[in-house]
Each structure stands twice: as structure tokens, then as C-alpha cells.
Structure 1
Amino acid sequence: MTTSGHPAIEYIRIDKWLWTARFYKTRSLAAQAIAAGHVRLAGHPVKPARDLRCGDSLEIAIGDTIWSVVVRGLNEQRRPAVEAQQLYEETRASSERRATQRETRLLAPVPGSDLRGRPTKKARRQIRGFNEGF
């Protein structure tokens, strides 16, 4: 994916591609994820400077979500999300797995996920009373 008038690029660093495809907010976060082993190229761990080409398959673990994508385009600049989604194609198994995880989260939310901010004065009294009872 290039603009007219510029030659097409054949390869790009994997950390830069993850940043341009908007999997990570910064390039350094992408490099940290790669170094931690959260990104695999064709099933093998890689280093941030590894060259990525069109047709390569990646497994990207972000939190508890695992993306399996095939690289469809290369771009050196970070573009809007709509254009960034054209740089890769998610596999059918990956999209089904993510949909199942999304449904599971909706049906059984994590306990305490509805709590926001600091407890109120009344809630603090209840907590203190509960803790002093033991």
C-alpha cells in the first residue's frame, strides 16, 4: 500500500509494521512486545529488527487476545485505522476465537469490573467494619 509516485517497498521492520498496522500505540511498545515473545512470525519468535514481507503470517498476543494475521500490505507511515486494517487479513479461526472471547466477556464479566474510582465514605465505613470484624 503506497501512494502514487512512490516506489513500492518490499520489506519493513516488524516493529514498525506492527505500529503502522495499529496493533501497538508506539513503536517502542511493539519492540517490547516482540522482545517479550508476544509476536511470532510463522510460529517462531523474532527480534524487532526482523524484516517482514507481504504474505508472512503473524501471531500477535495482546492481553488475553491472540490475533493470527497474514500480511497483505506494507506502509512506512502510520495511517488512519481504516487504511491500517487493509495492511493485514485476519484468519477465520482467529476471528471466530476473538468473537467467542467477546461473547464470554459479555455473559460473564470479571468481578469488580463495574466498580469505578475510589470508594465512597459509606463504602469505606462498610469495608472498615468488615475488616475489623476479623
Structure 2
Amino acid sequence: MERVAQDEHGPAVADHRQGAGHRTVRRPDLAPPHGGESRVGGMAAADEVKAAGSAGPVRIDAWIWSVRLTKTRSMAATACRAGHVQLNGERVKPAHTVKVGDEVRLRLEGRERIVVVSQIIRKRVGAAVAVEAYVDNSPPPPPRADVLAAGVRDRGMGRPTKRDRREMERLRGL
């Protein structure tokens, strides 16, 4: 059984075995960076962006996911494959790279998001940090009352008739 101990020189591993006595082994891979205290509770927001890094190309599906425009990376890749993502006016595949200044259009869940890339981020970051990575030029979302009124049927009403379908299409504006 191993146990991590902390002293003035950084963490060490104490090896306790029967008959072996007490032995302390120094582990440099567990030492805090630059001899300072190790942080508990994660990184600060500024460090998250540095860790996410702007070095090297970033795939568009990874960028869309990391700035929280989609919930999952696979959802971002699926949107790209379906043609719901445009980069500078052209449909792109998930592996296409993103640069600062590119305009990304994403059509998802009945809403179009138009964003201009202002920062390249590889890893998913907090919402407050993610908002700084792009400029949002999206039109405002439709009012929630209008969305709910369009074609909502009561439970147990059965299959809609032709007349019901026409009314739902009229409400949706089709």
C-alpha cells in the first residue's frame, strides 16, 4: 500500500510492507511546479485559456464544442457532416481548421448562431471564458411563447388529422 506524504521538499511516497520497515521514496513527478504550493480546486480562468493554447491548428468541431456552442463534440461533428456548419460561407467537414477572424455559422435546434472567431481554444473551458473566444453576431432567439404555440398537441389526442396538420404548418409559417 502506498501513501503520499508532504514535507518541505515536496511530496514523497511512503512504502509500507511487512518486514520492510518504513521507507520513504522521493517522487519528482509528484513535486509541485517551481517549488511552490500545489493548487487545489483546478486552474484559474486565465490559466485555462493558456493551457487550452492557441498553438497549432484546431478542428472546427473541436472549437465549436470547446466554446460551448454544442453540448458534445460528437454533436458538433454530426452537425458538420450534415451541412449545418459553414465557415466563411462554405460548408465544411469536421476536420477543417479554424483561424482567428473566421465567421462560423451553426444551425442547431431551429436556431442559427453566427459567431466570429476571436480566440483559438482547443479544450473545453468554462462558460465565462468561452464567451471571450468569439464575437456573437447571431439574431436574437425567437420568443419562447411563439415556439411553444407552434404545433403543440395535448397528450392523448391521437394522430393529427389533415386539417390539424395544415393548422400546425400555418402556425409554423411553412
Q: Could you tell me the TM-score, scaled by structure 1's length?
A: 0.70
- Aligned counterpart for 2:128 among listed residues 67, 70, 82: 82
Task: Give the superposition deviation at 1:80.
Answer: 1.0
The Cα of 1:14 is off from its aligned counterpart by 0.3
CA distance in 1, matches of 2:58, 2:78: 17
Return the offset for 1:54: 0.7
Q: Counterparts of 1:98 and 1:33 in 2: how far apart (Å)? A: 21
C-alpha change, 1:64 and 1:8, in structure 2 (3 Å) is closer
Q: Which runs of 5+ in 2 are unaligned?
A: 1-47, 159-174
Q: Residues 35-114 of structure 1: matches in 2 within 5 Å?
A: 35-91=81-137, 94=138, 97-99=139-141, 101-102=142-143, 105-107=144-146, 109-112=149-152
In 2: Cα distance, 1:68 partner to 1:17 partner: 14
User: One-letter code of the match for 1:110?
Assistant: A
Q: State the 1:84 CA deviation.
A: 0.9
Structure 2 partner of 1:3: 50
Give the TM-score normalised by the residue count of structure 2: 0.55
Structure 1 gaps of 5+ residues are 129-134
Out of 69, 74, 77, the residue aligned to residue 23 of structure 1 is 69
* Partner deviation per Cα, 1:10-37 (whole Å, 9 max, x = no partner): 5310010011011111111110000000
Structure 1 position 63, deviation (Å): 1.8
Structure 1 segments (4+ residues) deviating >4 Å: none
Q: Whose strand fraction is larger, Structure 1's or Structure 2's?
A: 2
The count of residues paired between Structure 1 and Structure 2 equals: 110
**Looking at CA atoms only, which structure, 1 or 2, has the larger radius of gyration?**
2
Assess if the C-alpha contact under 8 Å between 1:65 and 1:98 holds in 2: no
Higher helix proportion, which one? 1
After superposition, the CA RMSD in angstroms is 2.5
> Cα gap change, 1:86/1:7 in structure 2, threshold over 3 Å: closer, same or farther?
closer
- What SS is found at the alignment partner of 2:105? strand
Q: Distance in 2 between matches of 1:86 and 1:69?
A: 11
